[in-house]
Structure 1
Amino acid sequence: MIAVFKLLHVLLCLFVSLKLLALAQEENQFIYHGFTEANLLLNGIAKIHPNGLLELTNTSKQQIGHAFFPFPSQFNTSLTNNSQSLSFSTQFVFAMVPELPTLGGHGIAFTISPSVNFIGALGSQYFGIFNSTSNGLSSNHVLAVELDTIRSPDFEDINDNHVGIDVNNLTSIESAPVTYFSDEEKENKSLTLISGNMMHAWIDYDEVEKLLNVTVAPITSTKPTWPLLSTSLDLSSFMLDSMYVGFSSSTGAMASSQYILGWSFNKSGQAQSLDLSKLPPLPPKKKSRNKPYLRIVIPTITAIILLISISGAAYIIRRKKYEELREDWEQEYGPQRFSYKDLYKATKGFKDTELLGSGGFGVVYRGALPASNMQVAVKKVSHDSKQGVKEFVAEIVTMGRLRHRNLVQLLGYCRRKGELLLVYDYMPNGSLDKLLFRNDTPSLNWFRRYQILRGVASALLYLHEEWEQVVLHRDVKASNILLDADFHGRLGDFGLAKFHDRGANPHTTCVVGTVGYLAPEVTRTGRATTSSDVFAFGTLMLEMACGRKPIESEQSPEKMILVDWVLESWKRGDILGTCDPKLKGNYRVEEMELVLKLGLLCSFSTPGARPSMRQVVQYLDGNASLPEMPLDGASIGLMPVSHEASRDCTLSFHGSNDYSAYSLSSTDSILSYGR
């Protein structure tokens, strides 16, 4: 009996192993002539017709369609695997039927991605893969071969009918107009992607040669001898072990019905050839009726005239409702100018239910853009058109060009009568001070606090040294840092920011900033520098470690000034006694000591004694050791603001509004005092 059970156990294990092997083979090699039984992962408006035809998009505007194989393929990029583990081969038959004969949607992209959840992705030129913030990030790990039918200047497209190879970025590393080599005629012949005709595409990657070949041809032609694109590419530099394969597509202001009729894929050899006779047919083309029906002509014309009259009146009323203030000089800003109508609809008419925050900085509303459903924050401030608005808008557009994963992205603006509307990325977890200082909300753990500090330090390094100009933020503080869905810190509120060319000195100006974060030299001279931003960041580090504001009048005299209290505790050998009690000791001691001591180092009253943001990033990343510091109380800490300086200057106070970081400050500080 025992022997029988052992035999059954062996047979069961063998059966499971064979099933797993079969499943692994299925995940890495498949062929579909139609998709009725494919069980693809569909998203957006993608659907499968009863006859098996995969429709990625229809003639709906500004839409996305995704269709991916349900299991990830194992690309095995680790060094322990065989040298050809990255090779793959695929072929598919597709068709794009445009809404109008020469105008259609943005096309189809064969996509290899670590995930099928393209959160925040936009349609139009982004193919439903990226958005303006995620496009170009090395963390994407995405390969796409685009069949593009719209020329997008943002991505340096060569024309409105091309094939491109994209790596983490929709600016193609190589592209070419759509042609195929006719083996019979021995020449290249043109193809039009949105002709409505079925076409065949082949994509093959050879890991040994590190060569990606892309070939396109009419359905009536065999695979051409010469590929359309043959690009040297090392996939191992960005591919992950487990990747999904599939298709992503999008429509824009115009649309196309975009179809996949058959698909073959092989991760371990050449993809199987598709049997064209087994492919599902395309829907029949719509035919227009030419026979007139005289008995309905006169009522129809009468109804049209009536509708035009009613529509005209409604248009005038609607135009007044959505009327904007536009001037000729704004034309150059193009996509960074939003329509008031879109923002009105996005915020449900600026309803109180969508209100995120309000205060001296203005009013901020949550919204979802109607075209893409992208979540945004819309801020309304008043402005006077006589007060240098042209220069102000130019600065807004300049700030919109800043690109860093730890900056709150300013997407654009709109002007209407006496209002200025600013559009930002929406940060669902509000401002940092909400979680850091309030006792009625869950506290941030130390891991997240440390990651937020590293992220904001990286953003300041970008502003100081890595952008085309030097950007001085001048108001770094906890309430100006917003938290995204993953609690990553994003530095916002560029209302007091100042730009200057590299090598030039910023001009002396009025004192601006927040009491408790102002470097001593700023209160004396009014001149902000990168060192004064470092001073404010030092205060932020102490806030994160200690869980309290830089100045708290209700504290005892020895604890009232945060930097003084931390310094005195260090002198007594009890620097860890200043740690935030809400952490309950759950932190890495070496990281906590580093943040506290680095915060003091950044708080030196002499600017030259403070580290640069590049050094701060190196310390926080563990790539450099913190230098020894003299425990000299006179050289560290705040200096009082003189009454003379504070009388004529713009100082702000640490607020508790969750969304003050969306502010461009008050219009007084920008339009009256200038930059």
Structure 2
Amino acid sequence: MKRRNVYANIAMFSKLVILLPLLISVVGSQDTNFTYNGFRSVNLSLDGIATITSNGLLELTNDTRQQKGHAFYPTPISFKNSLNDIAFSFSTTFVFAIVSEYPTLSGHGIAFVIAPTRGLPGALPSQYLGLFNDTNNGNSTNHVVAIELDTIQSHEFNDTNDNHVGVDINSLESVKSTSAGYYATSGGFMNLTLISGHPMQVWVEYDGVKKQINVTLAPINVDKPKIPLLSLSRDLSPIINKTMYVGFSSSTGSVLTSHYVLGWSFKMNGKTQELALSQLPKLPRGKERSKLLTIGLPIILVSLVLVAISGATYVIKRKRKFAELLEDWEVDYGPHRFKYKDLYIATKGFRDKELLGSGGFGRVYKGVLTTSKIEIAVKKVSHESRQGMREFVAEIVSIGRLRHRNLVPLLGYCRRKGELLLVYDYMSNGSLDKYLFDQPQVTLSWSQRFQVIKGVASGLLYLHEGWDQVVIHRDVKASNVLLDGELNGRLGDFGLARLYDHGTDPRTTHVVGTLGYLAPEHTRSGKATTSTDVYAFGAFMLEVACGRRPIQANGPSEDLILVDWVFSHLSQGKIMEARDPNYGTNYVAEELELVLKLGLMCSHSEAAARPSMRQVVQYLEGDVPFPDLSSLGLRSTGLTFAHGEGFDDFFMTYSSSMNKGFSHSSSIANSLLSGGR
């Protein structure tokens, strides 16, 4: 009997030894419990432009463009059981507000974050929300969980819309997302606008037993809804580390936006304490009404009436000056339509000092919107015919929803009699051609040029394949590539040539484009395709690498056509001598040779022999090896590939098409010039 008691005591002691670390871990995690009804005198770890205002608001971003802000609880929190590596349950609630200077635009949102470090080193603003960058987005080594309140639709992350809530795990492509709103007591769904400027409350709850995340959203004056906005069944144990930091991240883009957190409560292994809403700090108000206005209101009203009567003639003239053409069908495009008056004021009356340039589609002016202080570029396009205008405006609005880092964002439009105005984001470094041609004062290094080429290729691939419909650019060239503040290449004017296609007779060959960039089949049929865009991109690559226009107006006849000129260097085994001497010897030979040869391949006279933009991007990124063209020779009958190892069916087809397309002594030039006859 005694021996049995001894064994029982030993077994009991062993169980206590096993359970003791677990109990200590649970107790340790339960100690993390805080509630902030405002942030005055609160110790938070801040970085970026985040700050705490004098009245206790946590201001993650202020009226600054392209910035980010982080605020984290300064102490690491135990999120896992130290024995079985299972994530604990936790819950948090916070009240936030997004205040934009522009009623219908914002940038870019706010996120509650669980991260392995305080702050998020290397994270970018704008669409990256201060969480990730273009290199680590999607990496499983991030160990980041975030609840995003996103106010911009980024197609590259497959966002639901421009007003959504999502659960992000190691990536900005949400695992699950839905439109912002809440379920009322009756069960009906009530929409919410995140950029309304009104405070809203969020509840985030993770059940470590059920492995489920619930996210709930509601206005500040509404009790917590019984039905969460979204639920996700996911075990966070493999994603988060044993100790993590909790906090907030936010970012701005081109629109001045302030992101605030008014109060925050957090608890491990239990339900978080509710916030005392009446004690939360107030959001900053707009400009206070003048005391003089309040006291002298009757006098001011009488004065305004007198001014209105005496200035009736002036008002009528002004209305005519700012008259717009607005038809019933344009009501649906309201958010994308600008008032002509606003554009007139922004460009200082479209005066010549604000003129950025002019081209085949019209004149472009720089402007600053008075309400939002956003810098814009306004393109004035003459279009007398009303036929097809409705379809074109619908297409322009649709194209305005395209979002890609290498496309110039189209913000909206305005229409007057005989005139269409398109509004774009302003690119501070202007068009690429001024850095290439006519002995430029400032030129680009080879590495900068190569990045521009790859960026434009990525943007053109997105137009061809990355959206729900194919968009043909129709006029790819250096003057339509704009450089932003970081010298990233952004393709502009995509789809604009459609203006001249709507309303034309489909039996006619109405060609829109620029000589030197037009594919032979385009000049013959007048039909633009993705392959004609590839042809133009080939000419673009060659002009960037060589610093020459596709057709030299002045110079020896044998150097007239850039494609011929580059090919002559290739046939002599001296293709590297075709480079632009302005960037000297500071270049990567493999990259330069790839661009020159790929430019020739894209410039083939036969559409079937050209690569797609997906193949072009793969070659430029090095994902697919570029075929060995060392066996390409020049014969008296034109260009041909000698048979050799390593050429697949595609390049044998390319060989035969080159013999067919380039059959004269000045083969490529003749093909180009005869294609339009």
- Normalization by structure 2: what TM-score? 0.65
Indicate if the aligned counterparts of 1:96 and 1:193 stay in contact, CA closer than 8 A: no
- Are residue 602 (structure 1) and residue 602 (structure 2) matched? yes
* 1:543-554 superposed matches below 5 A: 543-554=543-554
- Are residue 34 (structure 1) and residue 35 (structure 2) matched? no
Indicate the SS of the match to 2:576: helix
Indicate the SS of the match to 1:437: coil
Matched residues in 2 for 1:443 and 1:242: separation? 46
Displacement of 1:371 after TM fit? 3.9
* 1:168-179 superposed matches below 5 A: 168=172, 173-174=177-178, 178=182
Task: Give the match for residue 646 of structure 2.
Answer: none
Sort the Cα spacing of 1:44 and 1:583 in 2 relative to 1 into closer, same or farther, 3 A. Answer: closer
Displacement of 1:155 after TM fit? 8.8
Q: Which moved more, 1:333-342 or 1:350-359?
A: 350-359
Q: Which moved more, 1:309-318 or 1:467-476?
A: 309-318
| Greater relative contact order (Cα < 8 A, sep 6+) | 1
Paired AA for residue 301 in structure 2: I
Deviations along 1:463-496, one digit per CA (max 9) or x if unpaired, are 3344444433232211111122222222222466
Task: Give the match for residue 590 of structure 2.
Answer: 590
Task: Give the match for residue 429 of structure 1.
Answer: 429
Task: Give the match for residue 20 of structure 1.
Answer: none
Deviations along 1:126-160, one digit per CA (max 9) or x if unpaired, are xx969xxx9xx989999445499xxxxx99899xx
Task: Give the match for residue 310 of structure 1.
Answer: 307
Displacement of 1:553 after TM fit? 4.2
Task: Give the match for residue 48 of structure 1.
Answer: 53
Task: Give the match for residue 567 of structure 1.
Answer: 567
Displacement of 1:382 after TM fit? 3.1
Task: Give the match for residue 347 of structure 2.
Answer: 347
Sort the Cα spacing of 1:107 and 1:177 in 2 relative to 1 into closer, same or farther, 3 A. Answer: farther
Deviations along 1:353-379, one digit per CA (max 9) or x if unpaired, are 433223554322222334433322111
Deviations along 1:44-97, one digit per CA (max 9) or x if unpaired, are 9997344x3568999x9xx999974178999999xxxx9679997533357999
Paired AA for residue 53 in structure 2: I
Structure 2 unaligned blocks of 5 or more: 1-28, 100-105, 114-118, 152-157, 286-293, 501-505, 640-657, 663-667
Indicate the SS of the match to 2:332: helix
Paired AA for residue 411 in structure 1: L
Sort the Cα spacing of 1:542 and 1:239 in 2 relative to 1 into closer, same or farther, 3 A. Answer: farther
Matched residues in 2 for 1:641 and 1:365: separation? 34
Deviations along 1:85-116, one digit per CA (max 9) or x if unpaired, are 9997533357999xxxxxxx999955449589
- Are residue 620 (structure 1) and residue 620 (structure 2) matched? yes
Indicate if the aligned counterparts of 1:116 and 1:244 stay in contact, CA closer than 8 A: no
Sort the Cα spacing of 1:115 and 1:235 in 2 relative to 1 into closer, same or farther, 3 A. Answer: farther
Matched residues in 2 for 1:129 and 1:419: separation? 38
- Are residue 639 (structure 1) and residue 670 (structure 2) matched? yes
- RMSD, aligned CA: 5.8
Indicate the SS of the match to 1:487: coil
Paired AA for residue 39 in structure 2: F
- Are residue 441 (structure 1) and residue 405 (structure 2) matched? no
Sort the Cα spacing of 1:507 and 1:527 in 2 relative to 1 into closer, same or farther, 3 A. Answer: farther
Q: Residue 245 of structure 1 is aligned with which of 227, 244, 248?
A: 248
Indicate if the aligned counterparts of 2:497 and 2:512 stay in contact, CA closer than 8 A: no
Indicate if the aligned counterparts of 1:68 and 1:116 stay in contact, CA closer than 8 A: no
Indicate if the aligned counterparts of 1:454 and 1:617 stay in contact, CA closer than 8 A: yes
Matched residues in 2 for 1:308 and 1:234: separation? 67
Paired AA for residue 48 in structure 1: T
Task: Give the match for residue 203 of structure 1.
Answer: 204
Indicate the SS of the match to 1:512: coil
* 1:42-441 superposed matches below 5 A: 48-50=53-55, 52=56, 68-69=70-71, 90-92=92-94, 110-112=111-113, 143-146=146-149, 164-165=165-166, 167=168, 168=172, 173-174=177-178, 178=182, 201-205=202-206, 211-214=212-215, 229-232=230-233, 245-246=248-249, 260-264=261-265, 273=273, 276=276, 279=279, 304-311=301-308, 313=311, 316=316, 319-358=319-358, 361-384=361-384, 388-441=388-441
Task: Give the match for residue 541 of structure 2.
Answer: 541
Sort the Cα spacing of 1:172 and 1:576 in 2 relative to 1 into closer, same or farther, 3 A. Answer: same
Matched residues in 2 for 1:556 and 1:328: separation? 57
Matched residues in 1 for 2:386 and 2:224: separation? 65
Sort the Cα spacing of 1:271 and 1:248 in 2 relative to 1 into closer, same or farther, 3 A. Answer: farther
Deviations along 1:605-664, one digit per CA (max 9) or x if unpaired, are 222222222222221222222234433444363336669958xxxxxxxxxxxxxxxxxx
Paired AA for residue 333 in structure 2: Y
Displacement of 1:423 after TM fit? 0.6
Task: Give the match for residue 669 of structure 1.
Answer: none
Matched residues in 1 for 2:368 and 2:584: separation? 39
Task: Give the match for residue 485 of structure 2.
Answer: 485
Matched residues in 2 for 1:487 and 1:237: separation? 39
Indicate if the aligned counterparts of 2:346 and 2:369 stay in contact, CA closer than 8 A: yes
Indicate if the aligned counterparts of 1:180 and 1:217 stay in contact, CA closer than 8 A: no
Indicate if the aligned counterparts of 2:51 and 2:59 stay in contact, CA closer than 8 A: yes
Deviations along 1:291-344, one digit per CA (max 9) or x if unpaired, are xxxxx99x9667635534534656656544433221222223222211112223
Paired AA for residue 214 in structure 2: N
Indicate if the aligned counterparts of 2:216 and 2:229 stay in contact, CA closer than 8 A: yes
Matched residues in 2 for 1:414 and 1:246: separation? 36
Matched residues in 2 for 1:201 and 1:43: separation? 24
Sort the Cα spacing of 1:336 and 1:572 in 2 relative to 1 into closer, same or farther, 3 A. Answer: same
Displacement of 1:386 after TM fit? 5.0
Matched residues in 2 for 1:532 and 1:586: separation? 33
Q: Which moved more, 1:453-462 or 1:379-388?
A: 379-388
* 1:15-30 superposed matches below 5 A: none
Sort the Cα spacing of 1:476 and 1:222 in 2 relative to 1 into closer, same or farther, 3 A. Answer: closer
Matched residues in 1 for 2:284 and 2:603: separation? 73
Sort the Cα spacing of 1:401 and 1:202 in 2 relative to 1 into closer, same or farther, 3 A. Answer: closer
Paired AA for residue 347 in structure 2: T
Matched residues in 1 for 2:198 and 2:459: separation? 49
Deviations along 1:192-235, one digit per CA (max 9) or x if unpaired, are 99999998754245789764333579999999998664323688
Matched residues in 1 for 2:66 and 2:568: separation? 59
Paired AA for residue 517 in structure 2: Y
Matched residues in 2 for 1:510 and 1:193: separation? 48
Indicate the SS of the match to 1:638: helix
Alignment identity in percent? 48
Indicate the SS of the match to 1:413: strand
Sort the Cα spacing of 1:332 and 1:580 in 2 relative to 1 into closer, same or farther, 3 A. Answer: same
Displacement of 1:546 after TM fit? 1.7
Task: Give the match for residue 517 of structure 1.
Answer: 517
Indicate if the aligned counterparts of 1:473 and 1:498 stay in contact, CA closer than 8 A: no
Sort the Cα spacing of 1:64 and 1:514 in 2 relative to 1 into closer, same or farther, 3 A. Answer: closer
- Normalization by structure 1: what TM-score? 0.65
Indicate if the aligned counterparts of 1:72 and 1:245 stay in contact, CA closer than 8 A: no
Indicate if the aligned counterparts of 1:33 and 1:274 stay in contact, CA closer than 8 A: no
Matched residues in 1 for 2:396 and 2:367: separation? 20
Sort the Cα spacing of 1:278 and 1:514 in 2 relative to 1 into closer, same or farther, 3 A. Answer: closer
Sort the Cα spacing of 1:37 and 1:372 in 2 relative to 1 into closer, same or farther, 3 A. Answer: same
